[in-house]
Chains A and B, each alone.
Chain A
Amino acid sequence: MTARTAVLVLGALAAGCAHHSALIAPALIAPAQSAVELTHTPFFPQRDYQCGPAALATVLVASGVDVTADALVERVYLPGRKGSLQPELLAASRSFDRLPYVLAPELPALLSEVAAGHPVLVLQNYGLESVPFWHYAVVVGYDAAEDRVVLRSGTEERLEMSARRFLGTWDRAGRWALTVLEPDILPASAQRERFLEAAAALESTQRLDAAARAYGAALNRWPADSTAMLGIGNVRHASGDLPGAEAAYREVLRVDATHAVARNNLAQTLLDRGDASAALEEITTARATLSDPRLAPLLEQTEQSIRQAMAGPERPPQ
């Protein structure tokens, strides 16, 4: 199978010499200009195998972070693999309070980001599907008339590549592309669920201020979104703002009274504020409205700790 795939892929590569219709023009979404180049995007020539740190530094500095490729080596380079893994690029971006957003795997999304002034970190595969050679680069421009893209890549500050060739390498890498922006700036191609996932990752790795900014941006774009509002409650709870958390959870429940997780979190917050009986009332309702059985143990735990708190210190003498 591998030999056959190899021959097919090589055949496709060889066919690259023939004439082809344009790829960029049909993928542009109005009001994107027909040619864009983000010339101010910095450049970090890579050393050794370290295109990961170099590409990540490029997008981080473009987003206003003061960092160098060398300083990122110890955060994202994996000596045993002679390279960097995608999850670590996301994780390192978060540690600088930036929101790493994985784009929908399609050319229009990528181009719309570049058109909006956002350089895009991409994974490319310069090898074959069966013998991959992975490389990170940053797309900083495109030209529809020439059907070309411009990259910061490896040791080349300005690598021009035909759209066809670029798409070949990008296709074989699963069309993985990433913007790294301030958390309150929505990517031009932002989709609700993808963006909230990225915001929730900031929350769960304790980047609370950044998470709050991202949830705020999400609410601006998608008003009354229950997940974003829940996230705001969670961030407030984690930073010790219990009244604020309670207000946010109640806001979720106002929009969706059957939101069992918001009610669970409200119950916990009420318990933390010292009102165990109100908490018990809420958790009882939450358990009754829960539709996802996988979450049941979590709600049960909350109820247990509420009951313990009620029984605990004022246990009547026997």
Chain B
Amino acid sequence: MTRNSLQRCCVVLISLALINLGTPAVASAGIIGTQTVIEASQRDADLATIQAGLERAEVRQQFASLGVDANLVEARLATLTDAEVATLADRMEQMPAGGDLLAVIGVVFVILLILELVGVIDIFKKT
């Protein structure tokens, strides 16, 4: 029984360690990263590092809900900097998502056509 609980304890500890792997540490304890120095020189706001943990959790959730394969979420998160995570956490829904040009041109054409028909614009007629 003690052996069993020891195993369980190990599993829990390793799981926790793995969860933490998803969060790139600030270099190592005590060392202030170069990015922090650059950010401090640029921004008046609080430094991103403070909230980084919370924001990563939020982006993790958004990735999952936007259809990123569960096996890939951590790998994609790990390559993002804290500042990028902060941007994504803040405005992932509104950020430009480069997509399909053909669909784009089609929709633009339809919009122009509607504006033309409604009489707002007049670009299709040759005078």
A contact set with B: CB distance below 8 Å: 3, 6-7, 10-11, 13-14, 46, 48-52, 55, 74-75, 78-88, 90-92, 94-95, 123, 125-128, 131-136, 153-155, 173, 176, 193, 196-197, 199-201, 203-206, 227, 230-231, 234, 237-238, 261, 264-265, 267-269, 271-272, 292, 294-295, 298, 301-302, 305
Contact = CB atoms under 8 A, between A and B. Distances in A.
Contacts of B112: 10
A132 B7 CA distance: 54
Given A79-B68, A83-B97, 7 more contacts: A50-B100, A51-B100, A85-B95, A200-B37, A237-B31, A264-B32, A268-B29
B34 A231 contact: yes
A243 to B, nearest CB: 15
Contact of A55 (B72, B84, B98): B98
A271 B83 CA distance: 29
Contact of A80 (B26, B66, B81, B101): B66
Contact of A196 (B38, B108, B111): B38
B27 A85 contact: no
B51 interface: no
A237 B66 contact: no
A230 to B, nearest CB: 6
A200 B32 CA distance: 12
A193 B79 contact: no
B98 A74 contact: no
Interface in B72-127: 72, 75-76, 78-82, 84, 87-88, 92, 95-105, 107-108, 111-112, 115, 120-121, 123
Interface residues of B, number: 55
A87 B108 CA distance: 26
Find the residue from B28, B35, B98 having the highest chain A CB count within 10 A: B98
A135 B104 contact: yes
A86 B87 CA distance: 10
A126 B121 CA distance: 18
Contact of A234 (B31, B79, B108, B111): B31
Nearest to A78: B66
Given A127-B104, A268-B30, A84 B36 contact: no
Given A126-B104, A227-B38, A265 B31 contact: yes
Nearest to A75: B76
Given A74-B69, A205-B79, A238 B121 contact: no
B65 interface: yes
A234 B101 contact: no
Nearest to A13: B123
16 contacts: A50-B100, A74-B69, A80-B66, A85-B95, A86-B96, A91-B81, A126-B104, A127-B104, A131-B111, A154-B100, A201-B35, A204-B82, A227-B34, A261-B37, A271-B30, A295-B47
A136 B98 contact: yes
A265 B104 CA distance: 50
Contacts of B30: 264-265, 267-268, 271-272, 301-302, 305
A229 to B, nearest CB: 10
